[in-house]
Structures are given as C-alpha cells and as structure tokens.
Chains A and B, each alone.
Chain A
Amino acid sequence: VQLVETGGGLVQPGGSLRLSCEVSGLTVSSSYMSWVRQAPGKGLEWVSVIYTGGSTYYADSVKGRFTISRDNSKNMLYLQMNSLRAEDTAVYYCATIPLPGIAAVGFYVWGQGTMVTVSS
C-alpha cells in the first residue's frame, strides 16, 4: 500500500490550492480516507475524512473552506483548499486512520506528506 501526496507549494493568503493523493494497493472507494496536517514545530491535527459512502467530516478550523473528495476511476483522493490563511501552513498527509463508528482492523497507512506554505 502506498499513498503519495502532491500539489503543495507557496500560495498567498486568500488563495486556493488542491492537494492530490495517489493511492495504490487499496481501493479509495472502499477505504476511509483522511487528511491530517502538521504545522511547523507543532503536533498533528486532523483535517478531514471521507467515508466509503461519501459522507465527509471536517475540523472546525477548515470547515467551509476545505473540501475533501475522491475520484474512484483514478483511485485518487483530493483536498481543495480555499481562502487559505497563514495558519494553514503545514505538511499535509493523506492517511487511513481509525475512525468513530468504524471497527478498527489495523493496516493503517500514511503518505510522506506535501508542504503547503501560505505567505505573501
């Protein structure tokens, strides 16, 4: 199983960016996929999740600005980030992690991450 994030970079405050996660070794449509971030010098922060049925959840800090989605035909996961702020600067990871209401069965995996810098 491999997750590879791309799409990070430097963006101005108020700008937009779309992150992609190429998934291999598992099927994105039948997996519970999340985005987690880590700001410089800070700890891990959960951002969003998409369930197999298409339900989505977001952290309050990104609700209304970020959108998680997937393309089943390409086996890809995405994070559309709008109205970006300096505090969104972080390494963004796509991952499979344990979730509420879902039996934990192991074999969780994370990507290497992609850096997003929001600065003028």
Chain B
Amino acid sequence: AQSVTQLGSHVSVSEGALVLLRCNYSSSVPPYLFWYVQYPNQGLQLLLKYTSAATLVKGINGFEAEFKKSETSFHLTKPSAHMSDAAEYFCAVSEIQGAQKLVFGQGTRLTINP
C-alpha cells in the first residue's frame, strides 16, 4: 500500500533563508507525486507535480522538488523564504492510473520568522 511520510510537523525558517520540506513515499509502482499548500481556512493549492518526466520539477511561487527514486524521496525546496510562504504543506502520492485518489502526508506547518 502506498504511504507518505513528511519529516517534521513544524518547520521554522528566517525570511530569506532556504526552505526544505521533506517527503518520503512508499509505493509498489512508479508513483505520481504532488506538493500542495494550504492557507488558513482555505482549500489546497497545487504547487507542483511529478509524473515521470523530469526528476527536478519546478512549481509555482519559486518552489521546486526533486524526485529521487533510490531514496524514495520528493523533498520540496525554495532558495529564499518569503513571509507569504507561511502555510501548511502537504505531500501526496497517487498510484492508480487514470483515477484521482491521493494519499497525503500529515503535513508540515511552515513558519517564517522576520
């Protein structure tokens, strides 16, 4: 069965510092991987997705993620944090071809210190 583990339920960085949010997955087949962001009292917004094309995926708002099959990881990074990046971030995996069934990690709350 597929699963997602996000290391660190809460990450705090200074404005301008590197953001690194960790995600490891378990999947029996080549997965589809996603990062979503959720602002308070809002739904989820897709940041980026991996669908077996390039292993380095660029997303919106300056975020990117690298798929590493050997490490079963899909960590999210941003070179320079901005105050507006404060939110909760979710990593998700989908195995089923042609269907929309996402398995989410527990989420990482990102705090940006001025």
- Do A and B truly interact? no
- By a beta-carbon cutoff of 8 Å, the part of chain A in contact with chain B is none
